[in-house]
Structure 1
Amino acid sequence: MVGTFRPRRLASAALLGALALGLAACGGEYPNSTFNHNTDFNADIDALWDKLLFWGTIVFVGVEAALVYTIFRFRRRPGAPTPKQVHGNTVLEITWTAIPAVILIFIAIPTVRTIFKTQAKAAPDALQVEVIGHQWWWEFKYPQLGITTANELYLPNGRTVNFQLKTIDVLHSFWIPQMGGKRDLISNRTNYLWFTPNKDLPSSAWNGFCAEFCGPSHANMKFRVYTVTPQEFEQWSAHQKQGAIFPLAVAAPAPAPGAAAVAPVPTGTGATPVVLASTQAAQAPTDSAAPAAAPATVPVWAFPRERLEKEFTYTIPTAKLPVTVTFDESLLAKGDAEKGRQLYSKSSCIGCHAIVGTPFNMANVGPNLTHVGTRYTIAGGLYPNDAKHLAYWIKNAPALKPGSLMPTLGTGLTDPKTKMVVKMGGLSDADIADIVAYLQALK
């Protein structure tokens, strides 16, 4: 049976295709898109993408046009003779081999150039950042500055940053979509990635991810990136260089001459200015009659919370707490930071975490907590860093994040790994509230 051409069918198909394209274009904001020029890496990759899309489109249109022409020109017609059988056409074979070869040249040249450029060594004066992947959180070290932090990465606009990528366990992959680049962290090997945030880029917040399946909490291995001005980066790094700061008193007025320094708290953190004492403060010689010097501090600086919540809501964690974990939240308002410091110092916490400036507290199994009070996320970027979420996390981390290496610490709970009920060394809700107050005070 010979089919007949129906224009209505073709028009219906074309209309359906146009409608599908129209709906696909009706999207909202795409905060994790790579199609931007926030860094030189982004710009190079986007330029390569445009070239490949251009040539790919030409090939597609040409092939489809030839295919449609052939279908209609040589379609079966009533009474038409049987087509002549042929075994090939030398000119045609050479032509359709030569044309793709020429097109591949136009694709290969910019591709190879981009590969060599993005794989080249970073500039000698680049800011060095060591990225260490853990199951399931990120550790960031600035070896030139002597800074170690976790899950929150600060980068200065206009300066090249060279990332040294390592893992201490399984494969991970470091990816900041809006900054460009995705490179794997491979066991027993150091990979490198570099880019330069645009110097005219305003202070911004971005999402970072692990892009290589690495276990049950792969999807929960996130981090935050803050691109700031060089002046803001200097403020942040100066604060991060010093040891942990712990308040000796709260809500203190402006100090009189010679009184202890008052360091401002990050805008919008929910805290008030407090009298601060650095754990690295200089002390007067013991054989001197002079009084001890005032604690040496620098202003506390972190990315402003009001900007984060107003302009970068897509970087704020939205994970929900499991209903299986309970906590007496009324105790959080009564948390005693000094009691929390004492509890922390005598608990198993010191076997995993480091707080620079405190004795016998330099472990590196878990995230560095020196300035944890200035961070906006916990648990590998999964939860917001507030008293409520921090308390639940300390009480039963494995219930909040599958596979977490941090054990269950709440008294009377069953640890999912050991299957044992926590008794000796366990923490009550009141203990946890005190520790939360202490950790949030570490600015």
Structure 2
Amino acid sequence: MVGTFRPRRMTSVALLGALALGLAACGGDYPNSTFNPNSDFNAAIDALWDKLLIWGTLVFIAVEAALVYTIFKFRRRPGGGMPKQVHGNTALEITWTAIPAVILIFIAIPTVRTIFKTQAKAAPEALQVEVIGHQWWWEFRYPQYGITTANELYLPSGRTVNFQLKTVDVLHSFWIPQMGGKRDLISNRTNYLWFTPNKELPSSAWNGFCAEFCGPSHANMRFKVFTVTDDEFGQWAAHQKQPAIFPAVALAPSAATPVGAPRVAPVPSGTGSTPRLQLASATMPADTTAPGAPVPVWVFPKEKLEKDFAFTIPKTPLTNQISYDDALLGKGDAERGRQLYGKSSCIGCHAIAGTPFNMAAIGPNLTHVGSRHTIAGGLYPNDTKHLSYWIKSAPHMKPGSIMPSLGKGVTDPKTKMVVNVGGLTDAEVADIVAYLQALK
């Protein structure tokens, strides 16, 4: 049976399609868009995308035009005869084979050129960064500077950065959408990725992600990227190279100091400034400092982050599966926290430079954790409340976290056991939080 052409129905379908396309194009800013050439890598990929899109659009228009022409030209008509057969037409078959081949050549040349450009070795003077993927957080090492940090990546604008990508467990994938480039971290293999953040970029903040499913907290494996000026990077690096400096405030010791009481030792300044005091004890060695005056703390300004890059500030809601006495927030004692930290299981997983007994590498390096903007693999802001909840029960805050529940009376979601012996009270958690926040 010959169908009938219904213009009204076709018009309705066309309008519906146009409406769907219009709605798909609506929206505000896309802060994690890859279509922003903020690096040479991203610019190369963006240029390749534009070329392929142009060629794809031209091919689509030509094919659809030929299809529509054929439908109308050779549609069945009442009383029409048999159409002319073209089977065995050598010239026609060569033509429709040659045309796609030519199109593929125009696509292949810029594609191969871009592959060779982005897969070439980085410049010898490039900044070297080792990226190590863990379930579910990121470790960043700067071997040229002797720096190890976690979940926050600082890059100098205009300087090529060569990433050495490794994993200590399952497959991960390192991706900074705004910078371009996405490269897998594969077990027993080191992959490489390099790019140069645009020199014209002001101090900026970006989101980073794991783009390869790696377990129950894959979506929670995030990190932050800060592109800064050369001077700012130098300040940040100089500060990060320092061992932990614990700025405990105490009175100078007197002759009447009882045996076994905390000893107070001045940290040498070397600049004539007022010496800062640092506590030491028999249970936990004192944090050490480099010779001379401590280098000032420099990190990406929080005010600038909140004003211009609010999209990088995590907004993950707190869990309602655990509770914490909010009256204790900000009331902890840093020195007490330092003593508790030294006696706890924390030292078996984390490292704090300057404390020789505390050099584990299972969890993130905590040397300057107090100056970071985020915790828990970029999942929560680094403030008193979130840090308190995290220490009390990390598995409730981040499914699959290997950090155990530490809060007394908490039922660990993995072991299903209630934490009693060795568990921390809310007041003890507040003390440890005060200590960690003091590690600027």
Q: Give your verdict on TM over 0.5.
A: yes
* 2:262 match: none
Q: Hey, what's the Cα distance between the residues in 2 that align with 1:43 and 1:405?
A: 39
* 1:384 match: 381
Residue type of the alignment partner of 2:437? Q
Q: Hey, what's the Cα distance between the residues in 1 that align with 2:6 and 2:421?
A: 81
Q: Secondary structure at the match of 2:52?
A: helix
Gaps of 5+ in 2: 251-268, 277-285
1:208-357 equivalent positions in 2, closer than 5 A: 208-249=208-249, 258-260=272-274, 279-282=288-291, 296-357=293-354
- The answer on 1:22 being equivalent to 2:22 is yes
Provide the aligned C-alpha RMSD in A. 1.7
1:95-106 equivalent positions in 2, closer than 5 A: 95-106=95-106
Q: Hey, what's the Cα distance between the residues in 1 that align with 2:13 and 2:140?
A: 53
Q: Secondary structure at the match of 2:179?
A: coil
Using a 3 Å threshold, how does the CA distance of structure 1 residues 204 and 416 change in structure 2: closer, same or farther? same
419-428 or 206-215: which moved more?
Answer: 419-428
Residue type of the alignment partner of 2:372? R
* 2:125 match: 125
Structure 1 residue 281, shift from structure 2 partner:
4.2
* 1:44 match: 44
* 1:205 match: 205
Residue type of the alignment partner of 2:333? D
Q: Hey, what's the Cα distance between the residues in 1 that align with 2:59 and 2:272?
A: 76
* 2:367 match: 370
Structure 1 residue 395, shift from structure 2 partner:
0.6
**Moved segments of 4+, more than 4 Å:** none
TM-score scaled by length of structure 2: 0.90
Contact kept, 8 Å, 1:2 with 1:77, in 2: the verdict is no
- The answer on 1:432 being equivalent to 2:429 is yes
Contact kept, 8 Å, 2:322 with 2:410, in 1: the verdict is no
Q: Indicate the percent of aligned positions where both proteins have the same amino acid.
A: 80
Contact kept, 8 Å, 1:398 with 1:407, in 2: the verdict is yes
* 1:76 match: 76
167-176 or 89-98: which moved more?
Answer: 89-98
* 1:359 match: 356
* 1:138 match: 138
Structure 1 residue 86, shift from structure 2 partner:
5.0
* 1:265 match: none
Q: Hey, what's the Cα distance between the residues in 2 that align with 1:215 and 1:315?
A: 23
Gaps of 5+ in 1: 263-276, 283-294
Q: Hey, what's the Cα distance between the residues in 1 that align with 2:359 and 2:413?
A: 27
Q: Secondary structure at the match of 2:158?
A: coil
- How many positions carry a matched residue from both structures? 412
Using a 3 Å threshold, how does the CA distance of structure 1 residues 415 and 7 change in structure 2: closer, same or farther? closer
Q: Hey, what's the Cα distance between the residues in 1 that align with 2:410 and 2:341?
A: 19
Structure 1 residue 245, shift from structure 2 partner:
1.7
Deviation readout 1:56-94 (Å, 9 max, x if unpaired): 111111111000000011111112223355533211110
Using a 3 Å threshold, how does the CA distance of structure 1 residues 3 and 278 change in structure 2: closer, same or farther? same
Q: Hey, what's the Cα distance between the residues in 1 that align with 2:273 and 2:16?
A: 75
Deviation readout 1:298-327 (Å, 9 max, x if unpaired): 110010111111111110111111111101
Q: Hey, what's the Cα distance between the residues in 2 that align with 1:261 and 1:35?
A: 51
Q: Hey, what's the Cα distance between the residues in 1 that align with 2:87 and 2:98?
A: 20
Q: Hey, what's the Cα distance between the residues in 2 that align with 1:248 and 1:429?
A: 22
Structure 1 residue 412, shift from structure 2 partner:
1.9
Contact kept, 8 Å, 2:209 with 2:221, in 1: the verdict is yes
